Amino acid sequence: MKRRLVWIGACLMAAFSTVAVLQSAYAATGCRVEYSVTNQWSTGFQGSITVTNLGDPINGWTLTFAFPDANQKVTQGWNAGWSQSGATVTATNAGWNGTLAPSASVNVGFTGTWSGANPSPASFALNGTTCNGTAATPSASPSSPAPTTDPWSPPSDLAGPLDRVWAHQEETYSNLYGFRNYGWDQLVANSGTVNYCVRWDSTAHVTAAQRDAVHATLQRQYQKWMDQMLDNGQGWNGWPYRQVPVKVVGWAVRDRAQLEWTDASVDVYVNNIRENAPQCGEPCGRFFHQDGNYSGCPGGAAHHYDQSLWLTAGFQGGAGGDWGQRIGSEYYMSNLSAENVHILLHEIGHTYGLDDFYDWDPTPGRGFIMKAGSATQITEFDKWMLRDFWRHLKSRYGL
């Protein structure tokens, strides 16, 4: 696996910093872009772009850049609408991330193809303004109101139900505060990334294109939960991560011939059967090594996995926990382009400690993703349940 990080600026300094001021009579503009190749193999790669607004507030954005090589092509992406004409790539905000406050950032990602060479783009533009890398002079518009001193400010009609949910968890979880392998713990241990193994519990074959789509869909759905921890691109209540890269480091399968690729972009585990299903090696799994000791993992800690995406043929419904998520392989593969893979979203919620609601409903008639079958996307109530977990656990991380 190769990883590259490129800071785009007017010139490349030892500290990767640049200086520029762009302004108009009506609004100050300025932006910074961080471009990285987070994974690369013989014919494809995964790119990540973080854009930071260094000017006045933006409501609606378009990012443009040009690939230096004619063989570099975007095949699919997330967190933005993607298109490519010749060498020029355009990413337009999604419906939920179009507003960028001053100093706020947004992360977008894509998978692409290449051959011969895979150089980084030389420059980027946000809404037509070249991103040169440092803060612009602020305009004379009124300053934003100071943030509230108490970050716990859910909608008033949700405050009571949220209190009841937390009280219920305190009563029913056997080790609510002492458990140390929530998704929160995994993210902090990895400095804001999460590694996955795909347990391919099916006899179907998987092409390289399908593999990449499996990865991209997982990234897109995972980020939907992470975005609930942001307000205008900034972390809520000390949340330190704007974008959480999801890295699929391994696939587990019964028969290597089922995987129709020959590149070494992921580790492949063959016929390592646990729970009557293929599993990536236990020496590499956080579930089995919560002390972080991966000395027995081939390739070391970089090849460890925190969670498993367990895709089982004929499986109905789902399951989730600190070990990962299990859903039907047919369901997942038929929803690779879906905006919301709602069963997966529900199960990721369990990884972060959120409860099931089969026997009671704190918001009768409203529906939310953690009440199975009542919603197909993350709701405001889900968001504040997630935030409630964070505010109760964050002190363990010194934040």
DSSP letters, 43-54, are SEEEEEEEEEE-
- Whether 139 is in a domain gets the answer no
- Secondary structure (DSSP) of 173-236: -TTTTT---SHHHHHHHTTS-EEEEEEEESS--EEHHHHHHHHHHHHHHHHHHHGGGEETTEEG
162 and 62 within one domain? no
Do 349 and 368 touch, CB atoms closer than 8 A?
A: no
- Whether 12 is in a domain gets the answer yes
- Whether 138 is in a domain gets the answer no
Q: What are the phi and psi torsion angles at 118 (to 5°)?
A: -135, 60
118 and 191 within one domain? no
- Whether 60 is in a domain gets the answer yes
193 and 87 within one domain? no
77 and 164 within one domain? no
Distance from C-alpha of 19 to C-alpha of 147, rounded to nearest angstrom: 29
388 and 259 within one domain? yes
Distance from C-alpha of 82 to C-alpha of 79, rounded to nearest angstrom: 9
Q: Tally the domains of the chain.
A: 2
pLDDT score, position 161: 97
The H or E element containing residue 349 is: helix 342-351
121 and 161 within one domain? no
227 and 93 within one domain? no
DSSP type of residue 374:
S
220 and 95 within one domain? no
pLDDT score, position 10: 30
- Whether 210 is in a domain gets the answer yes
284 and 171 within one domain? yes
- Whether 328 is in a domain gets the answer yes
Residue 159 in 3-state DSSP?
helix
Distance from C-alpha of 226 to C-alpha of 384, rounded to nearest angstrom: 12
Distance from C-alpha of 280 to C-alpha of 271, rounded to nearest angstrom: 9
CA 187 from centroid of its chain's CA atoms: 11
Q: Where among 83, 114, 130 does a domain terminate?
A: 130
- Whether 148 is in a domain gets the answer no
Do 107 and 49 touch, CB atoms closer than 8 A?
A: yes
CA-based nearest residue to 272, from 263, 262, 290, 285: 285
Distance from C-alpha of 78 to C-alpha of 35, rounded to nearest angstrom: 15
Give the CATH number, domain containing residue 61: 2.60.40.290
Number of Cβ atoms within 10 Å of the Cβ of 12? 12
pLDDT score, position 80: 87
Do 38 and 20 touch, CB atoms closer than 8 A?
A: no
Distance from C-alpha of 174 to C-alpha of 323, rounded to nearest angstrom: 18
pLDDT score, position 204: 98
Domain enclosing residue 109, as ranges: 4-130
Give the CATH number, domain containing residue 223: 3.40.390
373 and 241 within one domain? yes
Residue 24 in 3-state DSSP?
coil
172 and 210 within one domain? yes
- Whether 141 is in a domain gets the answer no
Q: Where among 61, 95, 130 does a domain terminate?
A: 130
383 and 301 within one domain? yes
Angle at 31 between CA 28 and CA 35, to 5 degrees: 175
Task: Please give the average pLDDT of every successive group of 10 residues along the chain, which has 399 residues.
Answer: 36 28 49 91 90 87 92 90 89 82 88 92 90 64 46 95 96 94 95 96 97 96 97 93 94 97 95 95 95 92 96 97 97 97 98 96 96 97 98 90
Q: Sheet holding 246-253: strands in order across?
A: 267-270, 246-253, 194-201, 307-312, 324-328, 318-321
Q: Which residues contact 171 (CB under 8 A, 6 or more apart)?
A: none
